[in-house]
Structure formats: structure tokens, C-alpha cells
């Protein structure tokens, strides 16, 4: 697909990388020639220097043939203008990033009036994901399929867990749980486990199932499933604001610690129920006097990566609270992942993931029928959801008789309201939604799972 | 919240109270009174509970403002609850609520009593009553901070919660050292006072009991006539020392540190003395003819004025018989109270000064809306937080005052009695006007009113907010 991306900052860069790897033809527009050159050199894409809102520049970037315009420059208004012009010049769909919260109430109006396909507020979507994560204190990461009816949870096996050192088949039977362990990461290696796989301490497991079943599973393996009642957020940026709003609506007490007095005043206006503390969130005494030792969730969301890491390391030492750390620089992922700082969030990835999900849905109408797709473990594993519309070779055949490719696992079949963890006798029917996990790349149809 | 350290502090407070209970036991020994065994027994129980609590060290040593407030208020409640037991067990006050009223009145240095006849009390009970004034005057936790490395460097939170005044500072870098200096001055002055009272011809028991009571600006008398039957010399000594204990202790510290000039120019002290002199002058003029001669008038008036403004509450004459203008002045003095950082109660002179300066500021803002101006106190610019603290204190004070007044009005006494009863308790004065004046007492009120007044006395002594912190559901929320 032909895609034009306006702006190549962190999000633009990440998007360019992801989409070009998925085989799309990308043209990037940016007014900063140096930044543009860096991106063009790194990935197999074209670059155009200039103001992305100018119709000339857009034409030069080939907007007339493009299927999609993604505007992720630093300015909200420029993004909207870009999309408006692209819509008029070419005949493409448009996606704009709008960050300013004052436009929040107008999102639907703007979308309708300007004919935009999607407006994304990165802070808001990140906050949504964070709040979902806080709902499951034991999970590292939570993704959803089938509009939230099926969840994909990531969790780490701790010492003494009943999962340790046993065959998966026997453990799941013994625990009477209806979930599926669909992938295991051990020391950088990825396994798609079968029933004879043996789990070890320190493994990161991926579980697929209905939310209540997943809940049940966590409780049975002795992990804390009580919903948290209070959370502490250090840093008072946009994401913490949306997160606090989400959490407060879930009846969770929120403490926000922010350095800037002005921002504190703003936050206290926006969030009258939250406890806003003006002070240095990296100060040990301040944190403790505000009840660090008793909090159940802690979010390090400052602007400097190093501070977040230090803070989280300290907090991990003090409490067993659910811990979330924000990191900007993806480059040091390896080092970061070896540290015990809870769930690590890369905000630019969240935005990029959202947009690429939309693109997949677009492709879906044009051939591929993947509904949702997640990249797991540094893109080594893909988890995807297919909607079965028509008769094919996989439909109506018991799963045990299908000749699946290696490292492909059918995790969940959702039929009507039922969520089925499939066995060998089950079969896929028309109208089902099927979640498949694989280490292979480039699937676009359910039939691709066959040899 | 760190419950374990609060428990630990409370246990230490109990052990401390045990030590204090030994003093009346000793008095009983001197006078051969059987009541002493009850004091001894209670002391042993306190030691036992306190000792057990001390054995188990707190799990965490986190100690912040919240823990400070909560442990101070709880400590005061426990002190009062335990302090009431001797009165109850010795049968001096058969009703526990009455005993509690007496004990809270003692610790909060109020001096309001529910007893009609105090002369029937045993010596050790009488002494315990007065002695609670002395402990409450400077604060028990401050004393603990002086002696024990209680909560490490976080002791300042205890001191802030317990000490009186709009802003509590340290005299020297270390809290423990500050507390030791304060208690040093306090004890020294008390001993000096007792010696002077002895010299003036007072009996030794009376001298000690009145001495500690005056030091704490309490007001429990040993005789039904309060201080009227003591010699003129004793009364003059009491007058002077009540005023001295009503002055900010920083003044004495500066004085002993050789900064005589700074001490003499202490702003709050000067305003305090001006108010005292003005009140004496006005009342003397107004009561002209009530006493035999000029000297007696001055002496009697200054005793009452000193007693009321420092919120001690001793009396040598029934000022309920004075003209209403004089009574009005005394009522205003009750509200004002003495200096911050002293042993007295009330709103405190410094808050009144700040309030007046704020009013002046506001008027000036109305005339020059863009004017930038700071409020100065003791030659320092006053931070905005202190302004706010003073404003909110006055509001909370007013709210509690009115609410208490409404509740105790249910008992059906006249307006003057009710209105002054709340003032007398909330400001830790003791006697009010009307039926609770120097010749009356608080036994007339019912149980509900007594509970309200008990609350007022504690709230007044701790300057309202620690008690409110204790009552706020927010304090007890999990995870905060």
C-alpha cells in the first residue's frame, strides 16, 4: 500500500520502520532535512523535504496515488490541515495525531466534518493501555482481541510458582483452568509450547483466554488478582492525566507527584479527586511521606529515562507494588529488559501499534482478513485474529486433521458469545473469530496456517 | 500509614505516664495516704504495657507529618484516659466521664473542674491534678523528644504537632537539643517559682502544687477559694510568673544566649505586654470603688488579668461581680490568650497580630489593587503558608466554637454561661462567666455537653488541627 507519513519524529520514525518492514511503500515528509535523511538512510523509504501542509509538497510525495496519509508532526493544527489538504488533493484516507486535550470533546465533530478516518491521541491511548494493565496486577502486558472479549496476557513466572518444572499439559489439567499458554520467552529465545513443554522460573509466558478465565488462572497459580485500590504516579504529563482519569473512574485513589507548580494547579483543576503533590518525585522522603510503602501500584512517568529507571529500581526495593516504567529510548531495550523495573512502556510504540492496527484493518477490506495483530517479544512472535467469512480449507475440519505449519498455534475460537480453548476435536466454523499465534511472518489469511 | 511506629510511640508515652504517676505516689507516701497504692499500681501497669510495647521495635521507621499528627493526638487521648483512672479508682470522682473531664482539663492546662469541693480530695489526688498541668504545659512528646531518640530526625513532626503557635521552629539545629533547652528553661523557672512561693510563706505542698500548676498555666486550685486565701506576696509572685510563662520561650532562649537586645525587642512579647497593661489600666478605671484602695485594686486586677490572658484561670476574687465592661475585657483576653511558644492556650497573640496585619494589607489592596506587599513578623517576611494557616485556624476555631456552643445550649443554661463555657474550654482558661465563673464549676452540664467540652479542651490545647487530622477519614485511607 502507498502511504505518506508527515513528520518523522519518534512516532513517525517508529511507524516508518514498522510499516516499511511490513512491505508498504512509504514516503516521508518533514521540514527538517537532517532528520529526514536519517530516516531515509535507515529504512527503505522515500523522503520529501518541505511543509507537509502544502499541496505542492504533498503532490511531490505522491499523495494522488496514496491510500493513506498519516500526519504525526509536532503540531496538532498542522496535522489536521495536512489531512484536510490530502483529502482534497488525493483520494486517500487520513489519520491525524492530536495531542491537545482541549480538542478532546471535539474529536468526533472534527472527524466527521473534516472527513478524517482516525484521530489518535497518543497519551490517551497509552493511558488506556496502562489502566488495563493495572487491572491485572500480576500481568506485565495486556492486549485484547475480539473487542475485549479475549485477552492476551504476559506474565513472568516467579520462584515457587506451581507452574515451575512440570509438563504444561499436566499442570493445566491439575489446575482445572481453561486458558492456553501460547508462547514462552526464555533467555531471549521464543518457544511455541506444546503439552510436553516444561516451564521454568523466570520464563515469560503468554496466556490467551476470556478475561474471567484468565483471572481464574492467575488466582490459581497464586498470583495477586485483587484489583488495586490506590496508585501513585510520578510525573504529571498528559498520559498521567488520562491515566488518573481512567483510574479514578474505576474508584482507584490516585496520587500524582509533579515538580512544576503551574502544572500542579492545572491538574488539580482537571482532577479534583486526585491527590496532587507538588514536589520532586525522585525524592525518597517525599515519596515515603506520601505513602510509597503502602501504595499498590506505582508508575514512573517522568521525562528522563534515567530518572524513571532509578526511581523504579528504588521502588522495587521498597514495595511489592505493581510497577510501570516509561522508557523513551528503544535502543537500550536489551539492558532495560534485564532490569527488574516492572512493566516497561515505550509510548511511541503504543501510538505506532494503534496506527498499524488501523492499517491492517484497512488491508483487511482489501484482501487480507487479519482483524487485529500484535507483535510480541521484539516482533519475534505475532498474535493475530482472523474473522472467518467464507468457506475455505480450514473450515469444518477437526483441528487435529489440519496440517499446520510448524510453530503455529490456534489459541482461541470465539463463537457467538462463547470463548473456546480449542482441542483436537474442535473445528472452525464460518462466523468464528480465531486467534492464532505464530513465529512465522507475513500471514494474511487463515489458510496461511496450513503447510 | 506506619502503624507500628505509632504503636511504639504510644507505648513509650504510657511508660512515661507511669513514671509521672510515681510522683503522686511519693506524695501519698509523705502524707501517709492509702490512695498512693492506686497510683503505684497504675504506674506498674503502665510500665508493664509500655515495656512490652518497647520490646517489639517498629518494623519501619518512616515518620512523617501524618504520623506526627496522629501519634500526638492519640498520645494525648491515651494520657487523658489513663490520667483519669486514679480519680476514678480512688473514688474521688465516682463517674468516669467526670474523671476524664478533670484529667483532660488537667493535661490541656485548662483548669476547669467538675468538683464542687476540692478540699476533700486526698493530697495525692490534688497533686496529680496540678501535676498534669505541668506535663501538659510544655507537652509530653516534646519531653520525650528531649530525652529519647524517639523517631530520629523526624522528631520535628511530633514537636510541630504538639507545640503551640502559627509556625513552630527550632532554636538550635537538633530537635532533641531544642526540646532539652525548652524543658531546661521550663524546669528552671518552675523550681525558681516554687522557691519564691516558699519564701512568701506558702506551705510546702501548696507551693509545689501551685508552682507546677502556674508553670503550666493550668489553674486547678487546692482550695475552694482558688488562690484568694494566699498571702498578697504569694499572689504577686503568681501574677508575675503567670505572665512570664505566657511569654514565648524563644525570648528566654535569646536572653540566655546573650542576645538581650533581640529578646527585649521580641515583637509578640511587646504586643502581649501592651495588651496586659492596657487591660489592667481599663479594668482598674472601670472597677474603681470595688476594692478598698488603689494598691489593692491594681494588685487584684492584675492577678485576674494575668490569670485570664495566660489562660491559667486562678482567681483571687469573683470577677463575675465586676461591671460588664470589665467582664467583657476579660472575655476578649480569654480569646486572645498569650504568646505562641509558651504554655498558655487561646488563639495566641501572634495570630492576632498577623490577622490585624492581614486586615491592614487587604485595605491597602483595595486602595492600590496592584500593590505588592509582604507581611513581616519579628522582622522576617511571613511565608504565604503561614498566612493561610492563620486564616484557616481562625475559621476552624470559629466553626468549632459555634458548633460546641449550639450543642451545649441544649442543656438550657443562659447565653453567657454557655458562650463563656466554650470559650473557657476551647482556650484552656478554666473558669468562664456566669454559672461557670470563678465561683461556679462545670458539674452543672450533662454528659453530652461534657463530651463536647472535653473535645474542645483537647482541640484547644493541640490547636485544633491534630485532632481534626485524627478525625478525617482521609487519614485512615489505605495506601496513603
Query: Residue B440, Cβ neighbours under 10 Å: how many?
Result: 19
User: Are residue A95 and residue A141 in the same domain, yes or no?
Assistant: no
Q: What's the confidence (pLDDT) of residue A367?
A: 57
User: Which residue among A300, A321, A345 closes a domain?
Assistant: A345
Alpha carbon dihedral A96, A100, A102, A107, in 10-degree steps, equals 10
Query: Are the CB atoms for A133 and A141 separated by under 8 Å?
Result: yes
In a domain, A419, yes or no: yes
Query: Are the CB atoms for B133 and B111 separated by under 8 Å?
Result: yes
Helix (H, G, I), strand (E, B) or coil at A183: strand
Query: Are the CB atoms for A247 and A133 separated by under 8 Å?
Result: no
User: Are residue A105 and residue A154 in the same domain, yes or no?
Assistant: no
- Edge to edge, the sheet with strand A2-6 lists A46-49, A25-30, A2-6, A68-71, A93-97, A118-120
DSSP string, B29-58: HHHT-TTHHHHHHHHHHHHHHHHHHHHS--
Q: Which among A394, A386, A132, A372 has a CA at the least distance from the CA of A252?
A: A132
Q: What's the confidence (pLDDT) of residue B284?
A: 93
In a domain, A57, yes or no: yes
Shortest alpha-carbon distance between residue A279 and chain B (Å) = 15
Q: Which among B457, B463, B243, B274 has a CA at the least distance from the CA of B338?
A: B243
Q: What is the CA radius of gyration of chain B?
A: 22
- The whole-angstrom separation of Cα A315 and Cα A433 is 41
Q: Judge: B1–A291 Cβ closer than 8 Å, yes or no.
A: yes
Q: Judge: B66–A289 Cβ closer than 8 Å, yes or no.
A: yes
Q: Which burial class, exposed, middle or buried, applies to A423 when counting CB atoms under 10 A from its CB (0-12, 13-18, 19+)? A: exposed
What lies within 8 Å, CB to CB, of A379 at 6+ separation is none
User: Are residue A242 and residue A321 in the same domain, yes or no?
Assistant: yes
Q: What are the chain A neighbours of B5 within 8 Å (beta carbons)? A: none
In a domain, A351, yes or no: no
End-to-end alpha carbon distance in chain A: 27
Extract the C-alpha cell encoding A184.
Answer: 514462552
Q: What's the confidence (pLDDT) of residue A368?
A: 59
User: Are residue A16 and residue A90 in the same domain, yes or no?
Assistant: yes
Facing A230 at nearest CB: one of B65, B66, B478: B478
In a domain, A225, yes or no: no
User: Are residue A243 and residue A285 in the same domain, yes or no?
Assistant: yes
pLDDT tier at B149, thresholds 50, 70, 90: low
Q: What's the confidence (pLDDT) of residue A364?
A: 62
Q: What's the confidence (pLDDT) of residue B282?
A: 95
Q: Judge: B480–A293 Cβ closer than 8 Å, yes or no.
A: no
- The whole-angstrom separation of Cα B279 and Cα B40 is 45
Nearest CA in chain A to B478: A294
Beta bridge partners of A326: A345
Of A175 and B399, the structure prediction assigns the larger pLDDT to B399
Q: Which among A207, A198, A202 has a CA at the least distance from the CA of A186?
A: A202
Q: What's the confidence (pLDDT) of residue A378?
A: 67
Q: What's the confidence (pLDDT) of residue B480?
A: 60
**How much of chain B, in percent, has pLDDT values that exceed 90?**
49
User: Are residue A186 and residue A236 in the same domain, yes or no?
Assistant: no
Q: What's the confidence (pLDDT) of residue B275?
A: 95
User: Which residue among A59, A85, A120 closes a domain?
Assistant: A120
DSSP string, B58-81: -S-----HHHHHHHHHHHHHHHHH
Query: Are the CB atoms for A111 and A79 separated by under 8 Å?
Result: no
Query: Are the CB atoms for B254 and B206 separated by under 8 Å?
Result: no
DSSP secondary structure code for residue A224 in this structure: -
Q: Does B3 touch chain A (CB under 8 A)?
A: no
In a domain, A411, yes or no: yes
Query: Are the CB atoms for B316 and B226 separated by under 8 Å?
Result: yes
Q: What's the confidence (pLDDT) of residue B363?
A: 92
Helix B294-309 crosses helix B267-286 at what angle (to 10 degrees)? 130
Q: What is the CA radius of gyration of chain A?
A: 23
For residue A242, the domain's CATH number is 3.40.50.720
In order of A177, A211, A219, A250, B1, the CA distances from A227 in angstroms are 20, 14, 12, 10, 20
- The whole-angstrom separation of Cα B30 and Cα B65 is 44
Q: Judge: B65–A289 Cβ closer than 8 Å, yes or no.
A: yes
Shortest alpha-carbon distance between residue B342 and chain A (Å) = 29
Q: Judge: A294–B478 Cβ closer than 8 Å, yes or no.
A: yes
Q: Judge: B477–A295 Cβ closer than 8 Å, yes or no.
A: no
Q: Which among B328, B327, B325, B307 has a CA at the least distance from the CA of B316?
A: B307
pLDDT tier at B151, thresholds 50, 70, 90: low
**Range with lowest mean pLDDT among A14-18, A347-351, B211-215, B402-406:** A347-351
- The whole-angstrom separation of Cα B107 and Cα B458 is 9
User: Are residue A13 and residue A96 in the same domain, yes or no?
Assistant: yes
Helix (H, G, I), strand (E, B) or coil at B479: coil
Q: What are the chain A neighbours of B480 within 8 Å (beta carbons)? A: 230, 253, 255, 275, 290-291, 294
Q: What's the confidence (pLDDT) of residue A434?
A: 85
In order of A78, B352, B380, the CA distances from B377 in angstroms are 54, 12, 5
Helix (H, G, I), strand (E, B) or coil at B15: helix
Which residues of A make CB contacts under 8 Å with B? Answer: 229-230, 253, 255, 275, 285, 288-291, 293-296
Q: Judge: A289–B479 Cβ closer than 8 Å, yes or no.
A: no
Question: Which of A229, A289, A318 to mutate to probe the B interface, most B CBs <10 Å?
Answer: A289
User: Are residue A267 and residue A174 in the same domain, yes or no?
Assistant: no
Q: What are the chain A neighbours of B479 within 8 Å (beta carbons)? A: 229-230, 253, 291, 294-296
Q: Does B108 touch chain A (CB under 8 A)?
A: no
For residue A422, the domain's CATH number is 3.30.70.1450
Q: What's the confidence (pLDDT) of residue A208?
A: 84
- The whole-angstrom separation of Cα A302 and Cα A320 is 21
Mean pLDDT of B66-71: 87
Which H helix or E strand runs over A29? strand A25-30
Facing A253 at nearest CB: one of B1, B62, B479: B479
Whole-model pTM?
Answer: 0.79
Facing B64 at nearest CB: one of A229, A230, A288: A288
Question: Which of A291, A293, A298, A319 to mutate to probe the B interface, most B CBs <10 Å?
Answer: A291
Q: Judge: B477–A293 Cβ closer than 8 Å, yes or no.
A: no
Q: Judge: B479–A291 Cβ closer than 8 Å, yes or no.
A: yes
**How much of chain B, in percent, has pLDDT values that exceed 70?**
98
User: Are residue A214 and residue A234 in the same domain, yes or no?
Assistant: no
Q: Does B154 touch chain A (CB under 8 A)?
A: no
In order of B225, B313, B418, B422, the CA distances from B451 in angstroms are 27, 21, 14, 12
Shortest alpha-carbon distance between residue B373 and chain A (Å) = 22
User: Are residue A157 and residue A255 in the same domain, yes or no?
Assistant: no
What lies within 8 Å, CB to CB, of B143 at 6+ separation is B16, B135, B179, B183
Helix B324-336 crosses helix B415-426 at what angle (to 10 degrees)? 30
Q: How many Å separate Cα B253 from the centre of its chain?
A: 20
Count of CB contacts below 8 A, A vs B? 31
What lies within 8 Å, CB to CB, of B474 at 6+ separation is B480
Shortest alpha-carbon distance between residue B59 and chain A (Å) = 12
Q: Does B2 touch chain A (CB under 8 A)?
A: yes
In order of A32, B164, B244, B246, B378, the CA distances from B342 in angstroms are 68, 7, 9, 5, 16
Query: Residue B165, Cβ neighbours under 10 Å: how many?
Result: 19
Q: Judge: B480–A229 Cβ closer than 8 Å, yes or no.
A: no
Mean pLDDT of B256-285: 91
In a domain, A143, yes or no: yes
Q: Which residue range is the domain that position A32 belongs to?
A: 2-120
Q: What's the confidence (pLDDT) of residue B65?
A: 82
Facing A230 at nearest CB: one of B62, B64, B480: B480
What lies within 8 Å, CB to CB, of A162 at 6+ separation is A171, A175, A220, A221, A222
Nearest CA in chain B to A290: B480
Shortest alpha-carbon distance between residue A153 and chain B (Å) = 26
Q: What are the chain B neighbours of A290 within 8 Å (beta carbons)? A: 480
In order of A186, A376, A449, B169, the CA distances from A190 in angstroms are 6, 10, 19, 62
Grid cell 500484535 is found at: A374
How many domains in chain A?
4
pLDDT tier at B356, thresholds 50, 70, 90: very high
Beta bridge partners of A93: A68
Query: Are the CB atoms for B249 and B165 separated by under 8 Å?
Result: no
Q: What's the confidence (pLDDT) of residue A365?
A: 57
User: Which residue among A120, A154, A170 closes a domain?
Assistant: A120
Facing B478 at nearest CB: one of A229, A288, A290: A229
User: Does residue B167 carry a pLDDT above 90?
Assistant: no
Which H helix or E strand runs over A36? helix A33-42
User: Does residue B92 carry a pLDDT above 60?
Assistant: yes
- The whole-angstrom separation of Cα B75 and Cα B462 is 11
Shortest alpha-carbon distance between residue B2 and chain A (Å) = 9
User: Does residue B8 carry a pLDDT above 90?
Assistant: no
Q: What's the confidence (pLDDT) of residue A42?
A: 86
In a domain, A394, yes or no: yes
In total, chain B counts a number of residues equal to 480
- The whole-angstrom separation of Cα B460 and Cα B428 is 6
User: Are residue A337 and residue A246 in the same domain, yes or no?
Assistant: yes
Q: What are the chain A neighbours of B2 within 8 Å (beta carbons)? A: 293
In order of A301, A351, B63, B470, the CA distances from B3 in angstroms are 30, 44, 10, 13
* Tens of each residue's pLDDT in chain A, 451 residues: 889 999 988 888 888 888 888 788 999 999 988 888 888 888 888 899 999 888 899 998 888 888 899 999 989 999 999 999 998 888 888 999 988 888 888 888 888 888 888 888 888 888 888 888 887 766 777 777 767 778 888 888 877 777 777 788 787 777 777 778 888 888 778 888 877 888 888 788 888 888 777 777 877 777 666 678 889 999 988 899 999 998 998 888 999 999 999 999 999 999 998 999 999 988 888 888 888 888 889 999 999 999 999 999 999 888 888 899 999 887 888 888 888 888 888 888 888 888 877 787 777 655 556 777 777 766 678 888 888 877 888 888 888 888 888 888 888 888 877 888 887 788 888 888 888 888 877 777 777 778 7
In a domain, A128, yes or no: no
Which H helix or E strand runs over B89? helix B65-89
- The whole-angstrom separation of Cα A343 and Cα A141 is 7
Q: Does B61 touch chain A (CB under 8 A)?
A: no
User: Are residue A172 and residue A112 in the same domain, yes or no?
Assistant: no
Q: Judge: A293–B62 Cβ closer than 8 Å, yes or no.
A: yes
Q: What's the confidence (pLDDT) of residue A143?
A: 78
Nearest CA in chain B to A288: B62
End-to-end alpha carbon distance in chain B: 7
Q: What's the confidence (pLDDT) of residue A284?
A: 86
In order of A391, B408, B435, the CA distances from B418 in angstroms are 90, 7, 9
Shortest alpha-carbon distance between residue A221 and chain B (Å) = 25
CA angle A67, A69, A72 (to 5 degrees): 155
Of B478 and A218, the structure prediction assigns the larger pLDDT to A218
Amino acid at each position: 500500500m502507498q502511504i505518506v507519513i508527515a513528520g518523522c519524529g519518534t512516532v513517525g520514525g517508529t511507524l516508518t520502520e514498522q510499516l516499511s518492514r511490513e512491505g508498504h511503500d512509504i514516503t516521508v515528509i518533514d521540514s527538517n532535512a537532517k532528520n529526514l535523511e536519517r530516516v531515509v538512510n535507515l529504512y527503505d523509504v522515500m523522503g520529501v523535504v518541505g511543509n507537509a501542509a502544502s499541496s505542492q509538497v504533498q503532490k511531490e510525495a505522491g499523495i494522488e496515488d496514496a491510500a493513506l496519509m498519516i500526519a504525526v508532526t509536532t503540531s496538532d493544527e498542522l496535522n489536521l490541515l495536512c489531512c484536510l489538504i490530502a483529502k482534497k488533493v488525493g483520494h486517500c484516507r487520513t489519520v491525524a495525531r492530536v495531542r491537545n486535550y482541549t480538542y478532546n470533546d471535539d474529536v468526533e465533530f472534527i472527524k466527521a466534518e473534516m472527513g478524517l478516518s482516525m484521530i489518535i491521541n497518543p497519551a490517551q491511548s497509552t493511558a488506556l493501555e496502562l489502566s488495563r494493565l493495572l487491572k491485572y496486577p500480576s500481568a506485565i502486558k495486556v492486549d485484547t482481541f475480539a473487542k475485549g472479549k479475549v485477552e492476551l496476557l504476559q506474565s513472568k513466572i516467579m520462584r515457587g510458582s506451581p507452574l515451575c518444572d512440570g509438563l504444561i499439559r499436566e499442570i493445566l489439567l491439575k489446575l482445572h483452568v481453561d486458558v492456553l499458554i501460547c508462547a514462552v520467552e526464555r533467555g531471549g529465545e521464543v518457544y511455541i509450547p506444546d503439552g510436553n513443554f516444561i516451564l521454568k522460573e523466570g520464563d515469560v509466558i503468554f496466556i490467551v483466554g476470556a478475561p474471567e478465565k484468565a483471572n481464574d488462572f492467575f488466582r490459581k497459580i497464586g498470583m495477586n488478582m485483587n484489583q488495586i485500590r490506590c496508585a501513585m504516579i510520578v510525573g504529571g504529563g498528559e498520559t498521567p492525566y488520562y491515566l488518573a482519569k481512567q483510574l479514578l473512574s474505576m474508584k482507584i485513589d490516585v496520587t500524582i507527584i509533579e515538580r512544576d507548580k503551574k502544572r500542579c494547579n492545572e491538574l488539580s483543576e482537571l482532577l479534583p479527586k486526585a491527590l496532587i503533590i507538588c514536589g520532586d518525585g525522585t525524592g525518597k522522603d517525599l515519596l515515603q511521606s506520601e505513602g510509597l510503602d503502602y501504595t499498590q501500584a506505582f508508575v514512573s512517568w517522568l521525562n528522563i529515562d534515567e530518572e524513571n529507571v532509578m526511581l523504579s529500581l528504588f521502588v522495587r526495593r521498597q514495595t511489592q507494588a505493581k510497577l510501570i516504567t516509561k522508557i523513551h529510548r528503544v535502543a537500550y531495550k536489551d539492558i532495560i529488559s534485564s532490569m527488574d523495573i516492572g512493566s516497561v512502556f515505550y509510548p511511541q510504540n503504543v501510538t505506532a501499534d494503534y496506527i498499524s492496527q488501523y492499517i491492517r484493518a484497512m488491508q483487511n477490506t482489501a484482501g487480507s482478513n487479519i482483524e487485529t495483530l500484535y507483535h510480541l517479544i521484539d516482533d519475534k512472535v505475532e498474535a493475530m485474529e482472523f474473522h472467518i467469512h467464507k468457506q475455505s480449507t480450514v473450515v469444518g475440519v477437526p483441528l487435529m486433521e489440519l496440517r499446520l505449519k510448524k510453530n503455529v498455534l490456534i489459541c482461541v475460537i470465539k463463537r457467538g458469545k462463547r470463548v473456546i480453548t480449542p482441542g483436537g476435536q474442535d473445528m472452525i466454523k464460518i462466523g468464528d473469530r480465531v486467534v492464532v499465534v505464530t513465529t512465522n511472518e507475513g500471514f494474511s489469511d487463515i489458510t496461511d496456517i496450513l503447510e | 500509614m506506619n502503624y507500628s511506629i505509632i504503636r511504639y510511640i504510644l507505648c513509650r508515652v504510657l511508660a512515661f505516664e507511669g513514671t509521672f504517676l510515681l510522683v503522686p505516689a511519693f506524695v501519698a507516701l509523705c502524707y501517709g495516704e492509702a490512695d498512693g497504692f492506686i497510683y503505684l499500681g497504675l504506674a506498674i501497669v503502665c510500665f508493664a504495657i509500655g515495656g512490652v510495647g518497647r520490646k517489639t521495635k517498629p518494623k519501619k521507621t518512616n515518620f512523617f507529618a501524618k504520623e506526627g499528627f496522629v501519634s500526638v493526638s492519640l498520645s494525648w487521648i491515651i494520657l487523658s484516659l489513663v490520667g483519669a483512672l486514679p480519680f476514678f479508682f480512688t473514688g474521688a470522682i465516682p463517674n468516669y466521664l467526670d474523671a476524664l473531664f478533670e484529667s483532660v482539663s488537667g493535661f490541656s492546662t485548662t483548669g476547669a473542674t467538675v468538683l464542687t469541693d476540692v478540699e476533700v480530695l486526698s493530697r495525692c489526688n490534688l497533686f496529680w491534678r496540678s501535676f498534669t498541668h505541668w506535663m501538659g504545659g510544655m507537652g509530653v512528646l516534646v519531653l520525650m523528644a528531649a530525652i529519647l531518640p524517639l523517631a530520629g530526625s523526624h522528631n520535628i513532626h511530633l514537636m510541630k504537632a504538639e507545640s503551640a503557635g502559627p509556625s513552630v521552629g527550632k532554636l538550635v539545629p537538633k530537635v532533641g537539643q531544642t526540646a532539652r533547652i525548652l524543658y531546661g528553661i521550663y524546669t528552671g523557672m518552675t523550681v525558681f517559682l516554687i522557691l519564691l512561693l516558699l519564701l512568701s510563706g506558702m506551705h510546702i505542698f501548696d507551693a509545689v502544687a501551685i508552682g507546677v500548676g502556674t508553670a503550666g498555666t493550668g489553674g486547678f486550685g487546692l482550695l475552694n477559694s482558688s488562690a484568694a486565701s494566699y498571702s498578697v506576696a504569694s499572689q504577686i509572685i503568681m501574677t508575675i510568673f503567670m505572665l512570664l510563662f505566657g511569654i514565648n520561650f524563644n525570648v528566654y532562649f535569646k536572653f540566655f544566649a546573650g542576645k538581650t537586645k533581640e529578646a527585649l525587642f521580641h515583637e509578640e512579647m511587646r504586643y502581649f505586654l501592651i495588651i496586659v497593661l492596657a487591660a489592667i489600666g481599663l479594668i482598674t478605671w472601670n472597677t474603681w470603688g470595688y476594692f478598698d484602695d488603689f494598691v489593692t485594686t491594681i494588685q487584684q486586677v492584675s492577678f485576674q488579668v494575668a490569670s485570664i490572658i495566660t489562660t491559667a484561670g486562678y482567681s483571687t476574687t469573683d470577677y463575675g461581680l465586676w461591671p460588664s465592661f470589665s467582664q467583657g475585657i476579660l472575655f476578649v483576653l480569654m480569646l486572645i490568650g498569650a504568646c505562641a511558644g509558651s504554655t498558655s492556650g487561646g488563639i495566641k497573640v501572634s495570630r492576632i497580630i498577623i490577622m490585624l496585619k492581614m486586615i491592614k494589607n487587604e485595605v491597602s489592596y483595595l486602595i492600590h489593587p496592584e500593590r505588592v506587599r509582604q507581611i513581616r513578623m519579628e522582622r522576617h517576611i511571613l511565608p504565604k503558608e503561614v498566612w493561610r494557616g492563620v486564616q484557616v485556624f481562625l475559621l476552624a476555631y470559629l466553626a468549632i466554637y459555634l458548633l460546641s456552643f449550639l450543642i451545649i445550649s441544649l442543656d438550657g443554661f443562659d447565653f453567657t454561661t454557655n458562650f463563656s463555657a466554650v470559650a473557657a474550654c476551647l482556650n484552656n482558661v478554666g473558669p468562664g462567666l456566669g454559672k461557670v465563673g470563678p465561683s461556679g464549676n462545670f458539674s452543672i452540664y450533662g454528659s453530652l455537653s461534657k463530651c463536647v467540652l472535653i473535645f474542645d479542651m483537647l482541640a484547644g490545647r493541640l490547636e485544633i488541627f491534630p485532632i481534626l487530622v485524627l478525625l478525617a477519614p482521609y487519614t485512615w485511607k489505605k495506601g496513603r
